[in-house]
Amino acid sequence: MSCLDQLKFDANGLIPAIVQEQKTGRVLMMAWMNRASLEKTLATGKTHFWSRSRQKFWMKGETSGHTQQVKDVAYDCDGDTLLIQVEQIGAACHEGYQSCFFRSMQDGGKEFKITEERLENPEQIYGKK
Amino acid sequence: MSCLDQLKFDANGLIPAIVQEQKTGRVLMMAWMNRASLEKTLATGKTHFWSRSRQKFWMKGETSGHTQQVKDVAYDCDGDTLLIQVEQIGAACHEGYQSCFFRSMQDGGKEFKITEERLENPEQIYGKK
pLDDT at position A122 = 84
Provide the pLDDT for residue A21.
98
Per-residue model confidence (pLDDT) at position A1: 57
**CB contact A43 to B (< 8 Å):** yes
Going by the DSSP 8-state scheme, the letter that residue A94 receives in this structure is T
Using one digit for the tens of pLDDT, what is the confidence trace for A81-110? Answer: 999 999 999 999 999 999 999 999 999 999
Tell me the helix, strand and coil percentages in chain A, rounded to 5. 20, 35, 45
**Closest alpha carbon to B84 in B44, B128, B125, B129:** B44
B54 vs A47, residue with greater confidence: A47
* pLDDT for position B1: 57
Residues of A within 8 A of B43 (CB-CB) are: 108
Question: Residues A58-86: what's their mean pLDDT?
Answer: 97
- For residues A51 and A31, what is the distance between their CA atoms, to the nearest angstrom? 8
Which of A109-123, B9-23, B51-65 is the most confident on average? B9-23
Which pLDDT belongs to residue B128? 60
Q: What are phi and psi of B86, to 5 degrees?
A: -135, 165
C-alpha dist (Å) from residue B4 to A11, A48, B43, B99: 27, 30, 13, 27
Yes or no, beta carbons of B101 and A83 under 8 Å apart = yes
Closest residue in A to B99 (Cα–Cα): A76
Angle (CA) A9-A11-A17 rounded to 5° is: 35
> What does DSSP say about strands A103-106 and A27-33: parallel, antiparallel, or unpaired?
unpaired
Task: Answer whether A27 touches B (CB < 8 Å).
Answer: yes
3-state secondary structure of A84: strand
Model confidence pLDDT, tens digit, residues B96-115: 999 999 999 999 999 999 99
**C-alpha–C-alpha distance, residues A41 and A44, integer Å:** 5
Q: Which of A24, A77, A107 to mutate to test the interface with B (most CBs of B within 10 A)?
A: A77
Distance in angstroms (rounded) separating the CA atoms of residues B25 and B101:
13
**pLDDT at res. A123:** 83
What's the average model confidence in pLDDT over B45-72? Answer: 95
Q: Where are the alpha helices (DSSP H) in chain B?
A: 2-6, 35-44, 122-126
Instruction: Identify the pLDDT of residue A81.
Output: 98
**Closest among A78, A66, A62 to A19, alpha carbons compared:** A66
Q: What is the maximal distance between C-alpha atoms in chain A?
A: 47
Round the CA-based radius of gyration of chain A to a whole number and report it.
15
Element (H, E) at B69: strand B68-75
Q: Which residues pair with B32 in a beta bridge?
A: B16
Contact between B1 and A109 using a beta-carbon 8 Å cutoff: yes
DSSP 3-state assignment of A32?
strand
